[in-house]
Structure 1
């Protein structure tokens, strides 16, 4: 329990004004009056611990010297927020039933108030609420914009993959959430940079997998490519060629030979990832069948590729899952090397 919650819990809850329609305590020593005239009788110590702004206000002599007696009225602070909004804020501060957060607009209002009055504990609770929600692509954009505006680092990290994978240039303007305007053109260009770099890193992993596998397995198409190369050498060098395939040039060529089925499979994976960077391409059996059907002459790989490829691809999938979605340092270096282009969009923008 936080210090705010502990002190609030020790308040005289028995004197809670149950007859009122709003949260108020009979033993409170401080009144917050909302814009609609509703008054909340609360405790100075609780509000001081919950809010830096209220702590500064209450430290002023004009308020701090007043006491709750019959001769001297309880100090009052007027706020611009409605009673409905401010009561929800107090429900986060005091140990009572939490507010209803089913409305996203209400969450935004509460974040604005908590940010205005510098209430970190309320901000954390609201962020935790948003983190527990499931994200659709455009919801991820809304939540990410919210995280950037109110410096919610955990929510920003959790929604990063959604904005990186979203191509906002193909979204109809009527479907773009208003919170998207909180992000700048440079933000969207930054997301595109992250997406392109992550795709390139996936391609590097694909290449490393093929290279490692080709050196361990000698399938039909690899043997055929070697024979074709040796026949070409024989034609080029004529009768003087002794058939020695151990030269460094030959070794370099043989090292570059790849299984055509696997190579085509990863090319299809790359194309699928370009359309959807979150696609689970390594476990998509339809991509394997498409690759095998186009290169069906590699008979030695048929059973191995369709039946056992899932097990072989597990380490690769783990590597892909561990790739980050944000590359801030790389983006900063790219902007330094090309400062004039750091903010420019890399896509053609289509307006409806």
Structure 2
């Protein structure tokens, strides 16, 4: 049943009805809630606020009913309670906004605003939700709400929370009822987005190491070069003088990485596989763990522990700018068959 079909129009002087606080003396029609409470409001205001009321008020039936002493004021009966509809009117009229401390109340108001096609009310409710801080499961609730009521800004703001949440390891008691509003394909999308974002982080790590290795000549890089040259000398015998570098030698030297930095990023990868939101680049404990493993690289205290934060700033900016949603890539993946031996690239083992 549509909102228009649920609304009933009648002529009533409302003598026996209960008046709400929102009962304007110059109002030209009455909205009567399901519990018999009347709101005397203005046609023009409700028409501007709601497409449904605009269409309903354009009917000849209500336009012929005018508020005079002889003809009773038009009354519109709605199915909502006075408590809910008063909160809706508090968004429409320039008065104090309603109390939105209850999440269930926000859902009720969104349902009513969606039913009566009230975009301004929807925007105000979305703005309220955007100002909330998100815990993991709250993010899931808000995201489901955004999908159900087409709240694009809220959907974007909560995307990272659902991408990072593994619903399969949440205790059944803690799963919010709004999770039922999302489909199995939605959860598959979230997993796909997480895998792809993690791979993009891996690419950024590799590019950082490659660029850094070409600029800095640390102890472990020199040691790896010496080890390689000694191996070449053993393989080629006494006739090798070290001057006949081949393209293979050059490729090998280009691929040499600082062991400390390489181990650091491997630890970062492991941390991100557990929690894609982890601030790995600023986690000093990861740096110390990498340093402890490869402490023989002289100068690492100055170059890695002290200066790494500054060196990592551009990389952190690149990571922060990575999107959380990859709709186009997901659509392409849906159209193509998986490669032989395909398997997920990320384990879900947190929360």
- Structure 1 CA distance for aligned equivalents of residues 233 and 73 of structure 2: 103
- Structure 1 CA distance for aligned equivalents of residues 343 and 209 of structure 2: 36
State the Cα distance separating 1:241 from its structure 2 match: 2.0
State the Cα distance separating 1:242 from its structure 2 match: 2.5
- Structure 2 unmatched runs, 5+: none
TM-score, normalising length: structure 2: 0.91
Which shifted more, 210-219 or 340-349?
A: 340-349
1:215 aligns with 2:208: no
Q: Taking structure 1 as reference, are residues 224 and 147 closer, same or farther at Cα in structure 2, changes over 3 Å only?
A: same
State the Cα distance separating 1:341 from its structure 2 match: 12
Q: Secondary structure at the match of 1:341?
A: coil
State the Cα distance separating 1:345 from its structure 2 match: 9.2
What are the superposed Cα offsets for residues 53-74 of structure 1, whole Å, 9 maximum, x if unpaired?
Answer: 0001011111112110111111
- Structure 2 CA distance for aligned equivalents of residues 342 and 91 of structure 1: 58
State the Cα distance separating 1:339 from its structure 2 match: 8.5
Q: Taking structure 1 as reference, are residues 342 and 233 closer, same or farther at Cα in structure 2, changes over 3 Å only?
A: closer
Q: Taking structure 1 as reference, are residues 179 and 298 closer, same or farther at Cα in structure 2, changes over 3 Å only?
A: same
Is this contact kept in 2: 1:140–1:159, CA < 8 A? yes
Is this contact kept in 2: 1:92–1:122, CA < 8 A? yes
Is this contact kept in 1: 2:32–2:38, CA < 8 A? yes
Q: Taking structure 1 as reference, are residues 9 and 345 closer, same or farther at Cα in structure 2, changes over 3 Å only?
A: farther
CA RMSD in angstroms comes to 5.6
State the Cα distance separating 1:77 from its structure 2 match: 1.1
Q: Secondary structure at the match of 1:31?
A: strand
Is this contact kept in 2: 1:32–1:79, CA < 8 A? yes
Q: Taking structure 1 as reference, are residues 290 and 123 closer, same or farther at Cα in structure 2, changes over 3 Å only?
A: same
Q: Secondary structure at the match of 2:237?
A: helix
- Structure 1 CA distance for aligned equivalents of residues 224 and 58 of structure 2: 83
Is this contact kept in 2: 1:30–1:43, CA < 8 A? yes
- Structure 2 CA distance for aligned equivalents of residues 343 and 80 of structure 1: 53
Is this contact kept in 2: 1:165–1:277, CA < 8 A? yes
Q: Secondary structure at the match of 1:148?
A: helix
What are the superposed Cα offsets for residues 271-315 of structure 1, whole Å, 9 maximum, x if unpaired?
Answer: 111111111111111000000101111113232111110111111
What are the superposed Cα offsets for residues 4-60 of structure 1, whole Å, 9 maximum, x if unpaired?
Answer: 999999999999999xx4311111111111111111111111101100000010111
Is this contact kept in 1: 2:8–2:77, CA < 8 A? no
- Structure 1 unmatched runs, 5+: none
Is this contact kept in 2: 1:214–1:258, CA < 8 A? yes
- Structure 2 CA distance for aligned equivalents of residues 203 and 266 of structure 1: 8
Q: Secondary structure at the match of 1:305?
A: helix
TM-score, normalising length: structure 1: 0.90
Q: Secondary structure at the match of 2:30?
A: strand
Q: Taking structure 1 as reference, are residues 4 and 233 closer, same or farther at Cα in structure 2, changes over 3 Å only?
A: farther
Is this contact kept in 1: 2:28–2:73, CA < 8 A? yes
Q: Which residue of 2 aligns with 1:259?
A: 258
- Structure 1 CA distance for aligned equivalents of residues 241 and 159 of structure 2: 59
Q: Secondary structure at the match of 1:340?
A: coil
What number of residue pairs does the alignment pair up? 350
Q: Taking structure 1 as reference, are residues 170 and 112 closer, same or farther at Cα in structure 2, changes over 3 Å only?
A: same
- Structure 1 CA distance for aligned equivalents of residues 245 and 13 of structure 2: 88
State the Cα distance separating 1:232 from its structure 2 match: 1.3
Is this contact kept in 1: 2:126–2:151, CA < 8 A? yes
Q: Taking structure 1 as reference, are residues 68 and 342 closer, same or farther at Cα in structure 2, changes over 3 Å only?
A: farther
What are the superposed Cα offsets for residues 173-229 of structure 1, whole Å, 9 maximum, x if unpaired?
Answer: 111111011001110110111111111111111001100110011111111111111
State the Cα distance separating 1:246 from its structure 2 match: 2.8
Q: Taking structure 1 as reference, are residues 225 and 15 closer, same or farther at Cα in structure 2, changes over 3 Å only?
A: farther
Q: Taking structure 1 as reference, are residues 313 and 343 closer, same or farther at Cα in structure 2, changes over 3 Å only?
A: closer
State the Cα distance separating 1:247 from its structure 2 match: 1.5
